[in-house]
Amino acid sequence: MNKVILMGRLTRDPEVRYSQGEQATAIARYTVAVDRRFRRDGDSQTADFIGCVAFGRQAEFAEKYLRKGTKIALTGRIQTGSYTNRDGQKVYTTDVVVEEQEFAESKAASAEHAANFAPADRPSPSNAVSDGFMNIPDGIDEIVDSMFSGCYTLTEIVIPKSVTTVSRYSFENCQCMKRYYFLPDSPPELTTTGTFLGLPKDCKFYVPKGRLDVYQTAENWSSYASYMVEMEGDVL
């Protein structure tokens, strides 16, 4: 069982973006500061800062109602991952994929805390994940039309094993993209060769070990064969 229950305050307003096209999907990211009940001697940190990601209606709720300092209660599941950054260092990630979220105090109390809330004791870990990294939750089966089209802040993304379809223009003009990590053993269906339109020349497609030929010869994937390399090990 993978179940998480958290209560805490947002450290800043949620970052929300929408995919383009007919089936627009909202994606929201925010961090929740959760107070520690106990501290060891000499430990000055009073809270844990937990990254959360919400999709669809939960993301739309976050965009409309959640702000810095808002106290919420949420349930979800932990998703861990790792990737190699541009300096060749392996970076480990942990996110909570939000399933349900609700207010944990009155609107008046939330507004008061929002004005004064400042999580000054948040640590600055040396392995902090850059804003350009995206780990799509396992269980998503389709990257819908234009989902990340024109997303200039995206530099690295993990496509989970559950994805079976990558729709048209999903990653069009992602001009800062450096690495795609494709975890499915069988290449997801590409509905068009324009899925990665505007792909930077130095971008890499990392595919599972022993599956390079399968990806390079798959329908609509062959156009990107020169970008593909095998993973040295597991990404997740």
> Structural domains in the chain?
4-37+45-116 (2.40.50.140), 133-230 (3.80.10.10)
Predicted confidence band at 39 (pLDDT cuts at 50, 70, 90)? Answer: low
- pLDDT at residue 127 greater than cutoff 60: no
**Between 223 and 115, where is the model more confident?**
223
The alpha-helical segments, DSSP class H, found in the chain are 57-65, 107-116, 212-217
Does residue 151 come out as left (phi exceeding 0), alpha (psi in the -120 to 50 range) or beta? beta
β pairing state of 26-35 and 47-55:
antiparallel
Query: Tokens for 153?
Result: 């802040």
What was the pLDDT predicted at 212? 96
pTM over 0.85: no
Predicted confidence band at 118 (pLDDT cuts at 50, 70, 90)? Answer: low
Predicted confidence band at 148 (pLDDT cuts at 50, 70, 90)? Answer: confident
**Between 179 and 37, where is the model more confident?**
179
Looking at every residue in the chain, the average pLDDT score rounds to: 82
Q: How many CB atoms lie within 10 A of CB 152?
A: 11
Chain segment 153-171, per-residue pLDDT in tens: 788 999 999 999 998 888 9
As a whole number, mean pLDDT of residues 80-97 equals 77
Query: Tokens for 223?
Result: 């156009």
Chain segment 62-85, per-residue pLDDT in tens: 998 899 999 999 999 998 877 666
Predicted confidence band at 209 (pLDDT cuts at 50, 70, 90)? Answer: very high
- pLDDT at residue 120 greater than cutoff 80: no
* Bridge partners, residue 97, by sequence: 53, 77
Sign of CA dihedral 5, 61, 134, 166: positive
Which candidate, 117, 98, 104, 95, places its Cα nearest to that of 13?
117
Predicted confidence band at 110 (pLDDT cuts at 50, 70, 90)? Answer: low
As a whole number, mean pLDDT of residues 95-100 equals 91
Do 228 and 72 form a contact (C-beta atoms < 8 A)?
no
Highest mean pLDDT: which range of 115-119, 135-139, 201-205: 201-205
Phi, psi of 59, rounded to the nearest 5 degrees: -70, -40
